[in-house]
Chain A
Amino acid sequence: MNSFLPTVYRIETECDLAEARESCRKVRFFLDQLGFPEEESSRWELVLVEAANNAVKYASVEGSRLPITIEASCIENKLEIRIIDHTHGFEYPAKASLADPYDETGRGIFIIQTIVDRSEYFMGKSSNCLVLSKTYPKRIRQELDRGSEADQELGKQLFQTEETLAAMAEELSSCYESLTAIFRFSSELNVTRDTASFAEGLLKHLIQITDSDWYRFRLYDPDEALLIILSDHETNSNQAPLPFPRTDEDDLVKSLEIDSTRLRQDIWFDVDKPIHEEDSLFRSVREQSGIVHPFFMNETLIGVLTVGKNQSENVFTAAQINILHTFSDFLTIHILNTRFQEEKVRSHVVSRELEIATNIQRSLLPRQLPELSGFSISGSCTNAHQVGGDFFDMIPCSNHSALLVIADVMGKGIPAALFAAILRALIRAMPQISDSPGKLMSWVNNMIFDDLSKVEMFITAQFVFVDTRSNYLVASNAGHCPLLAACANGGNLNRITSEDMPLGIMRNLEYEQTRMELNDCRKILLYTDGLPEAQNPEGEFFSEKRLQEWLLLPTLEESDAMALGKKLIETIKQFQREAMNADDQTFLLLLREN
């Protein structure tokens, strides 16, 4: 009759070279019994002795009083051995190089790494764990005859091994729990869930798995340079954000969270190294121990996680620290994913907003300008960016008179477009006073003042009533560019401006009205500041002077306002060359017909 041998072996040995050597011999014996070939057992014995020697030689003062644990488990064709030491730990090389032939020391890790397939070293606070494994092409023989000599010895070991199994099962289940939690949260990644509640769920699992009592998780806000609490296990604790010091010298803030992010490494606290009373992590329970773990994505600080225990003897094991690191890596990825998604949504919203604003603005501009006897009229609005606050309008009052409006709403996007829409509606609501632009302007200002001042916006505008039969115009100006009127070829240039304030600055303003006889006036130009402020690559402005000069240029007899408007746009473009428009360019141009 055959019996199955235990495939797990655990032994604790005193921190002593001779004792450690003896324990390694026992592990080797266990491997022999499992059916490992002589040569392979011998290699593993060497690996174990090297690892155990290091655990003894470098044990800390307290650690030298604690046992070194060796656990071997063989499942199917894989052997895994763990050596748990109580040293201060060390930087375990990914691939150790071979020592110089004349060096008397420094070959241990090279030997270990040469023999095993895989080796990893996990550092904990009071213990560290070296995990070694090797996979074989065939399943290791696990059965022996009951009658073999070794059977009795192994029978004794069975009892010990069962206990070991229970301990390992517990550890395995904790790993299983963490894995389950990770998988559960992975599947929830697709569910819309805010980062705070996501982190809270994850961290509650973490403190359960790591047998901790509390946690605090702060997220770094680079804009404000603050470490903001995203999730805290204790809701009644100090929840104020931590200002992140701008310079390294500024160490006035007593905070392990800040220190860990600056040092870019974990910081431990316990009874011997307690949290400072001024530290926001400080709590009245005396027996505190825990770890502050900052986490980064590449070089960028993401946040800092603190996990604590209320009993100092309940220290973190290497495995628990490993889980904590895995969880924070996972959290980092989720936070970054969320940020990218938010950024994507935000940019989508912005472009949608701009689209809406552009539509509104476009709808405000007259598709076709009404006719005015004796003059041809053209209007143009070129936006510097997707949408601006410029707009123009022309409201016919009779077949020989009209109200011309040009305005610039200070602001961008939907708010600017909406105010332009309101302004347009208000102007059209009072046709009875269209011939008194000053009066209309005062009324519009009072109507729109409250709304504009609420959002700290204002509008510059120019209202001009033109009567071509009586041959005059009346202009009012609310902080806008002047009106330019050029007389017949070679004649004078008239410029109408005022000191009056833009709409939305002050209530109950009276706007000045300037009357000008048109006489032989040939061209009238209403424009926004984008025209004189058009810049060439050298940074030179087109300027009002150039605008005036252009207006005074002789005009061909057959020209109409449309052709002349195109010429103006062309002239400015030629001046700007490849330079981009910094501001909107809008104008209304009237040209007297021959």
Chain B
Amino acid sequence: MRINSTDFILIVSGLNDLVANNAEQVRDDVRSALKNEHTTIEIDLSETGFMDSSGLGILISLHKTMCARNGQIKLVNPSPSTQQILELTRLHRLFEIVEK
């Protein structure tokens, strides 16, 4: 997993799997990289081959974190399988999904 940062955006990429056994670690790493100036988290899901409901859970958790500070979260280029689970659980309506 890679975490890069611009002035206002925290960019998370290189996530292979977002599943129960790594989800909490990902959330903790992202939260610790998050600075006050960050108004957006962009999570690049293009390399994410697999995501389960625990992975969804941490996306929701980060979404709530950002909402609390008037920020936002964007899911970038979700892979077909992550797109599938987002649609299955209707969460594609909750997140802003961006194709770049």
Contacts and interface: CB of A to CB of B under 8 A. Distances in A.
Contacts of B89: 98-99, 107, 110-111
B60 A101 contact: yes
Given A18-B21, A21-B21, A43-B84, A101 B93 contact: yes
Contact of A53 (B17, B54, B64, B91): B54
Contact of B57 (A42, A57, A104): A104
Contacts of A99: 89
A575 B50 CA distance: 91
Contacts of A115: 88
Interface string B73-91: 0000000110011001111
A99 B53 CA distance: 11
Contacts of B90: 98, 101
Interface string A39-76: 10011011001100100110000000000000000000
Interface string A102-126: 1111011011001100000000000
Given A101-B91, A102-B64, A104-B60, A45 B53 contact: no
B54 A21 contact: no
Interface residues on B, range: 20 to 34
Given A21-B17, A111-B88, A105 B93 contact: no
A108 B21 CA distance: 15
Contact of A17 (B21, B81, B88): B21
Interface string B45-68: 000001011101110110010000
Of B80, B89, B91, most buried by chain A (CB within 10 Å of CB) is B89
A401 B57 CA distance: 110
Contacts of B58: 104
A103 B60 contact: yes
A114 B20 contact: no
B1 interface: no
Of A42, A43, A104, most buried by chain B (CB within 10 Å of CB) is A104
A331 B61 CA distance: 52
B20 A46 contact: no
Chain B interface SS verdict (over half): helix
A17 B91 contact: no
Of A18, A103, A107, most buried by chain B (CB within 10 Å of CB) is A107
Contacts of A114: 88
B11 to A, nearest CB: 23
Contacts of B88: 111, 114-115
Contacts of A18: 21
Contact of A107 (B20, B56, B64, B81): B56
Chain A interface SS verdict (over half): helix
A104 B61 CA distance: 6
Interface in B10-46: 17, 19-21
Given A108-B53, A111-B85, A111-B89, A21 B94 contact: no
Nearest to A114: B88
Nearest to B93: A101
Interface residues of A, number: 27
Contacts of B19: 17, 21, 49, 53
A56 B21 CA distance: 11
A386 to B, nearest CB: 70
Contacts of A103: 60
B93 A46 contact: no
A107 B51 CA distance: 13
Contacts of B93: 101
Contacts of A104: 57-58, 60-61
A21 to B, nearest CB: 6
B31 to A, nearest CB: 14
Contacts of A105: 53-54, 57
Nearest to A105: B57
B52 A49 contact: yes
Of B20, B56, B60, B90, most buried by chain A (CB within 10 Å of CB) is B20
Of A18, A56, A57, A101, most buried by chain B (CB within 10 Å of CB) is A101
B94 A50 contact: no
A45 B19 CA distance: 12
Contacts of B56: 107
Nearest to A16: B21
Of A39, A111, A115, most buried by chain B (CB within 10 Å of CB) is A111
Contacts of B94: 101-102
A115 B19 CA distance: 18
Contacts of B50: 42, 45-46, 49
B84 A42 contact: yes
Nearest to A100: B60
Contacts of B80: 39, 42
B84 A53 contact: no
Given A45-B50, A50-B53, A101-B94, A17 B61 contact: no
B86 to A, nearest CB: 11
Contacts of B54: 53, 105
B91 A46 contact: no
Contacts of A107: 53, 56-57, 89
Nearest to B95: A101
Nearest to A48: B52
24 contacts: A21-B17, A21-B19, A39-B84, A42-B50, A42-B81, A42-B84, A45-B50, A46-B52, A46-B84, A49-B19, A49-B20, A53-B20, A53-B54, A99-B89, A101-B93, A101-B94, A102-B60, A105-B53, A105-B57, A107-B53, A107-B57, A108-B53, A110-B89, A111-B53
Interface of A: 16-18, 21, 39, 42-43, 45-46, 49-50, 53, 56-57, 98-99, 101-105, 107-108, 110-111, 114-115
Interface of B: 17, 19-21, 50, 52-54, 56-58, 60-61, 64, 80-81, 84-85, 88-91, 93-94
Given A45-B50, A46-B84, A101-B94, 14 more contacts: A39-B80, A42-B81, A43-B84, A50-B53, A53-B53, A56-B20, A98-B89, A101-B90, A104-B57, A105-B53, A107-B57, A108-B53, A111-B53, A111-B89
**Complex A-B, nearest 10 residue pairs according to Cβ-Cβ distance, in ascending order:** A17-B21, A104-B57, A107-B53, A53-B20, A18-B21, A101-B94, A49-B52, A17-B20, A104-B60, A108-B53
